[in-house]
């Protein structure tokens, strides 16, 4: 059997066209959001935290390295078991803390560092992260009394933080962002009194679930999209089992849906309702997805997913569902390219400040492949049904773009060459191996 995918060198992917079907089982790597939080809360807790199913991507590795530098004892990273011996109080790191490509690492860590009295920290990230907005967390932390300096009046990393005892606030966030919410909650954990955060619509709630499990005094009002945390609180180490990441499962859901004759089984995927927008949109487009064996695993809803190919119809993606599928827009754009009619995506301006400007990245790269796509200020219009051309495209150094383009390339006429494909290791280190394993021709 010829390989459908070759790596030239490992950073450039080449997808050869073929008469493929996708069949079999894909084990989905651990949820990235939950992996970060398990490492961070484990590092802050008293006693031991045992993490099973941790994502071994670059982003959680950045979190682990930062918290090790802050004094936590973290065993060698493994998707089997990782032990975290909490530091209780974090020490000053002897060097700049580097969050790499990971916005979650940097923004959540800022809330923790700003609330460590008497300690000084410096934080940075890679060139993508240094261009992403930090004001969204720096401003509410400053309202709590935090002292933070950085480029562009503290709007951009590198940032320097003089930790101190903060004061509680009620923060009305203008955006539904779990990174903003979690940053404030983690600052509130160490702050005497009750810190409240209200968001315009509900963003992913992994922090709330895990903070409660670790013993924080935290109350959620889902109707009001409001969370209150009363500090100072001391977390206690827990056992955490990380489910498969629905954002990673999304590549297979779309790949199987658009490839005739396909059927994939995806066991053990997190189906937290704040993350399942992708399932609702794909079902509305006519995808055949079965959700089986629903259960709760360490406070998070989990299920096995089964997906078969089907013909897809265009849809409209707008409003409150956006935060529930924000990371899946690149692969949903690929689904739209194979659906009948014009799919409209609105209210998605947040995509401009992700690992890349994803609206522009999708529009230009899918456009090169022959997809009819118009970039809107806050979204995309994609007309499906025209045949895709295998050409040279670029991931823009963005993991989700790399994998979305690979799935699109499977159906293109001619070879698709994806520059900077290796960006996928941020969230999905063995994506290419899993793709080879389920491709049948």
Hey, what are 224's tokens?
A: 């009001």
33 near ligand S3P, rule: CB under 6 A: yes
178 near ligand S3P, rule: CB under 6 A: yes
Annotation marks residue 357 as catalytic:
no
Binding pattern for the stretch 86-105 against ligand S3P, x by CB under 6 A and - elsewhere: ------------------x-
Binding region for ligand S3P (CB under 6 A) out of 173-181, 222-230, 294-302, 409-417: 173-181
The interface with ligand S3P within residues 188-227 (CB under 6 A) comprises: 203-204
The interface with ligand S3P within residues 103-122 (CB under 6 A) comprises: 104
Residue nearer to ligand S3P on the CB measure, 280 or 392: 280
Hey, what are 313's tokens?
A: 């119809």
Note whether 82 and 109 are within 8 A (CB): no
Note whether 336 and 382 are within 8 A (CB): yes
327 near ligand S3P, rule: CB under 6 A: yes
Please tell me whether the peptide bond between 265 and the residue prior to it is cis, using omega within 30 degrees of 0.
no
Among the listed residues 112, 138, 156, 326, the single contact to ligand S3P using CB under 6 A:
326
* 354-385 core/surface letters (b: 16 or more CB in 10 A; e: else): bbbbbbebbbebbebbbbebebeebbbbbbbe
- Of 31, 59, 327, 394, the catalytic one is 327
356 near ligand S3P, rule: CB under 6 A: no
Q: Are strands 13-15 and 5-7 parallel, antiparallel or unpaired?
A: antiparallel
Three-state secondary structure readout of 334-352:
HHHHCCECEEEECCCHHHH
The minimum distance between CB 307 and ligand S3P, in angstroms, equals 22
Counting residues that bind ligand S3P (by CB under 6 A) gives 11
31 near ligand S3P, rule: CB under 6 A: no
177 near ligand S3P, rule: CB under 6 A: yes
* 416-441 core/surface letters (b: 16 or more CB in 10 A; e: else): bbbbbbbbbbbbbbebbebbeebbee
The minimum distance between CB 199 and ligand S3P, in angstroms, equals 10
- Tell me which residues touch ligand S3P (CB under 6 A): 33, 104, 177-179, 182, 203-204, 326-327, 350
Residues with a known catalytic role: 327
């Amino acid at each position: 059997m010829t390989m459908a995918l070759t790596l030239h060198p490992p950073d450039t992917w080449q997808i050869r066209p073929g008469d493929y079907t996708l069949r079999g089982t894909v084990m989905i790597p651990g949820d990235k959001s939950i992996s970060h939080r398990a490492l961070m809360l484990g590092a802050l807790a008293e006693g031991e935290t045992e993490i099973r199913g941790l994502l071994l991507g670059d982003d959680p590795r950045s979190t682990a390295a930062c918290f090790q530098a802050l004094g936590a004892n973290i065993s060698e990273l493994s998707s089997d078991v990782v032990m975290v011996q909490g530091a209780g109080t974090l020490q000053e790191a002897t060097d700049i803390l580097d969050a790499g490509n990971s916005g979650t690492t940097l923004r959540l860590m800022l809330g923790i560092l700003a609330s460590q009295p008497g300690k000084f920290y410096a934080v940075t990230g890679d060139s993508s992260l240094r261009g992403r907005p930090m004001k969204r967390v720096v401003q509410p932390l400053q309202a709590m009394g935090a002292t933070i300096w950085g480029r562009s009046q503290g709007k951009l990393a590198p940032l320097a933080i003089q930790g101190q005892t903060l004061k509680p606030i009620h923060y009305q966030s203008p955006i539904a962002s779990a990174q903003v919410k979690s940053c404030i909650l983690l600052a509130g954990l160490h702050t005497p009194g009750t810190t409240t955060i209200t968001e315009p619509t509900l963003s992913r709630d992994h922090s709330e679930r895990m903070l409660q499990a670790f013993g924080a005094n935290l109350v959620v009002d889902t109707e009001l999209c409001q969370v209150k945390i009363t500090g100072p609180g001391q977390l206690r180490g827990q056992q955490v089992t990380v489910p498969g990441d629905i954002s990673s499962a999304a590549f297979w859901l779309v790949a199987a849906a658009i490839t005739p004759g396909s059927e994939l089984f995806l066991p053990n995927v997190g189906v937290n309702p704040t993350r399942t927008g992708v399932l609702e949109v794909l079902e509305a487009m006519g995808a055949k997805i079965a959700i089986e064996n629903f259960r709760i695993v360490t406070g998070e809803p989990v299920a096995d997913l089964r997906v078969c190919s089907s013909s897809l119809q265009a849809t409209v993606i707008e409003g409150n569902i956006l935060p529930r599928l924000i990371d899946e827009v690149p692969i949903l754009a690929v689904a739209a390219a194979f659906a009948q009619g014009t799919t409209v995506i609105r209210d998605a301006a947040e995509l401009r400040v992700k690992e890349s400007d994803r609206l522009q990245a999708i529009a230009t790269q899918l456009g090169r492949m022959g997809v009819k796509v118009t970039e809107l200020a806050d979204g995309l219009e994609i007309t499906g049904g025209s045949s895709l051309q295998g050409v040279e495209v670029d991931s823009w150094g963005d993991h989700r773009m790399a994998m979305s383009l690979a799935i699109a390339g499977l159906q293109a006429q001619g070879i698709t060459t994806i520059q900077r494909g290796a960006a996928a290791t941020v969230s999905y280190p063995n994506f290419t191996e899993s793709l080879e394993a389920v491709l049948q021709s």
